[in-house]
């Protein structure tokens, strides 16, 4: 090959009788050569440029294409490593989760009770707790709402406001309101009760005093609703400073609720209120009382409950504004929002399993509400 035909003066002359196969064979043969591939590649690359090969021609060589593709993946090797580790971790978690679900559902090779007992032991809970604890794992907020089955909209279709009635007979209440999910407020529902004269923050603080069986039973067996406060237990509520408890000096508002599962405390509470007079004779009230208490300016967020039956809630002290909304599937069939103010001495009857509801304590007094389910 005559080099005079390749270069003249300072510019490149078109290749006349240059054989591309010579460069391709030399480059492709580097993989089997004992010389350092990088050194050999640089020498071949320099020689190709001297012979007048352009960058575009150089990129046509198959070996060069393979080298460039390899460099693209090796430029950030740590990315590939991270993805590989993440994928392995995800597959491991998926395998473990699937295995646990399979064991729990099919009860093989152990039954559900054994799995629950193991969970409590690993979490440092005493043996036997699996029989009294409501859940082995704390439920995720709004989980019950996400998986709530759709409901018929007949219960709210013709409801545009909440009626307020008095002197309602049990027969009429049963026929119109008791099981129709139609909300109603009975204005004389707490007649002859002494709760309004006795129930207060200090009264409950004394009833659920620190170290008392009543407080212990609530902490262990009952539900506690801190809502958006910083309280983690009922004991925390009664440990708050007096200024906040009694709404002094612009203290932050608070609102909490709990279910009372202590028989002794329940008997004490029920000496100050009776079964609502308007409930049908066939209706049985739940053994559990629900108590809600909080300062003005705060209440419960919009939610739907996951209880078994309709409930009644008596406003003992303070004033509470209820906001009711139908479930999403009924927005085009029912009024979008209904509000009613419940005053001291009044009882609201509501199916909280169907009606989304929120509350707000209004006025100047601490709101105390007590209620129960009925079937």
**Sequence-separated (6 or more) residues with CB below 8 Å from residue 41:** 27, 30, 67
Rounded to an integer, what distance in angstroms lies between the CA atom of residue 93 and that of residue 89? 6
Last residue of a domain, one of 122, 139, 156: 139
Residues 191 and 226 reside in one and the same domain: yes
What are the structure tokens assigned to 180, written together? 């129709």
- Please check whether residues 66 and 13 belong to one and the same domain: yes
Q: Are residues 70 and 108 in the same domain?
A: no
Range of the domain at 100: 79-139
Q: What is the pTM of this model?
A: 0.64
Looking at the structure, tell me whether residues 166 and 46 fall in a common domain.
no
Contact 3, 17 (CB under 8 A): no
3-state helix, strand, coil in the chain (%, to 5): 40, 15, 45
Domain boundary among 74, 103, 123: 74
- The neighbouring-strand residues paired with 350 are 311
Assess whether 199 and 313 both reside in one domain: yes
Q: What pLDDT, on a 0 to 100 scale, did the predictor assign at position 301? A: 92
Q: Are 313 and 305 in contact (CB under 8 A)?
A: no
Specify which residues 184 forms β-bridges with.
163, 349
| Distance (Å, whole) CA 288 – CA 221 | 11
User: In this structure, how many other beta carbons lie within 10 angstroms of the beta carbon of residue 140?
Assistant: 8
**pLDDT tens column, 107-135:** 667 666 676 667 667 766 554 544 444 45
Buried b (16+ CB within 10 A) or exposed e, 266-288: eeebeebbeebbbbbeebebbee
Q: Which of 104, 134, 160 is nearest to 307 (CA)?
A: 134
* SS3 state of residue 311: strand
257 and 190 within one domain:
yes
Nearest residue to 186 (alpha-carbon basis) of 172, 170, 165: 165
- SS3 call for 164: strand
CA angle 331, 334, 340 (to 5 degrees): 110
3-state secondary structure of 69: helix
58 and 165 belong to one structural domain: no
- Distance spanning both ends of the chain, measured CA to CA: 105
> What's 163's domain CATH number?
2.60.120.650
**Helix ranges (DSSP H) in the chain:** 20-28, 37-50, 55-58, 62-74, 77-106, 112-122, 143-146, 170-173, 195-198, 201-207, 213-221, 234-237, 242-245, 263-270
Residues of the chain with pLDDT under 70: 1-35, 67-80, 104-108, 110-113, 115-117, 119-120, 123-147
Sign of dihedral through CA atoms 96, 101, 102, 108? positive
Q: Write out pLDDT tens, residues 305-347.
A: 888 899 999 999 999 999 999 999 998 999 999 999 999 999 9
Domain boundary among 22, 51, 74: 74
Q: Indicate whether 28 and 45 sit together in one domain.
A: yes
| Structural domains in the chain (count) | 3
Number of Cβ within 10 Å of residue 28's Cβ equals 14
What dihedral do alpha carbons 316, 318, 319, 320 form, nearest 10°? -80
Q: State the DSSP code for 277.
A: T
311 backbone dihedrals φ, ψ, rounded to 5°: -140, 160
Say what the pLDDT of residue 8 is. Answer: 37
Q: Are residue 29 and residue 101 in the same domain, yes or no?
A: no
**Residue 109: cis peptide before it, omega within 30 degrees of 0:** yes
| pLDDT for residue 62 | 76
What pLDDT is stored for residue 25 in this prediction? 56
Phi, psi at 222, each rounded to 5°:
-110, 170
Task: Specify whether 58 is located in the same domain as 152.
Answer: no
Residue that is written with structure tokens 């799995």 in the block: 115
Same domain assignment for residues 95 and 61 = no
- 70 and 85 in a single domain? The answer is no
Q: Are 199 and 367 in contact (CB under 8 A)?
A: no
């Amino acid at each position: 090959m005559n080099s005079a035909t390749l270069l003249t003066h300072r510019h490149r002359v078109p290749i006349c009788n240059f054989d591309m196969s010579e460069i391709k064979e030399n480059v492709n043969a580097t993989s089997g050569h004992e010389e350092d591939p990088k050194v050999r590649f640089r020498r071949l690359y320099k020689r190709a440029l001297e012979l007048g090969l352009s960058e575009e021609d150089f990129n046509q060589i198959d070996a060069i294409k393979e080298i460039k593709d390899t460099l693209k993946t090796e430029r950030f090797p740590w990315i590939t490593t991270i993805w590989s580790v993440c994928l392995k971790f995800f597959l491991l978690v998926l395998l473990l989760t699937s295995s646990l679900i399979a064991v729990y559902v099919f009860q093989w090779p152990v039954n559900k009770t054994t799995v629950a007992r193991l969970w409590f032991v690993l979490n440092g809970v005493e043996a036997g707790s699996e029989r009294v604890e409501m859940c082995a794992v704390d439920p995720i907020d709004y989980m019950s709402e996400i998986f709530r089955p759709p409901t018929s909209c007949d219960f709210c279709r013709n409801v545009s406001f909440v009626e307020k009635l008095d002197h309602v007979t049990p027969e009429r209440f049963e026929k119109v309101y008791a099981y129709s999910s139609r909300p109603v407020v009975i204005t004389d529902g707490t007649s002859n009760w002494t709760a309004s004269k006795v129930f207060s923050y200090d009264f409950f603080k004394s009833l659920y005093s620190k170290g008392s069986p009543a407080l212990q039973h609530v902490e262990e067996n009952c539900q506690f609703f801190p809502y958006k406060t910083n309280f983690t237990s009922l004991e925390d509520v009664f440990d708050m400073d007096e200024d906040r408890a009694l709404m002094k000096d612009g203290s932050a508002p608070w609102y909490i609720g709990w279910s009372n599962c202590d028989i002794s405390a329940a008997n004490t509470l029920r000496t100050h209120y009776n079964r609502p007079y308007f409930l049908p004779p066939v209706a049985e009230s739940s053994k559990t009382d629900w108590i809600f208490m909080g300062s003005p300016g705060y209440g419960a967020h919009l939610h739907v409950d996951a209880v078994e039956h309709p409930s009644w809630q008596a406003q003992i002290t303070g004033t509470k504004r209820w906001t009711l909304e139908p479930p999403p599937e009924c927005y085009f069939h029912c009024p979008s929002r209904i509000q009613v103010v419940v005053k001291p001495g009044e009882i609201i009857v509501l199916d909280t399993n169907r009606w989304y509801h929120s509350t707000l304590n209004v006025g100047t007094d601490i709101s105390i509400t007590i209620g129960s389910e009925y079937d």
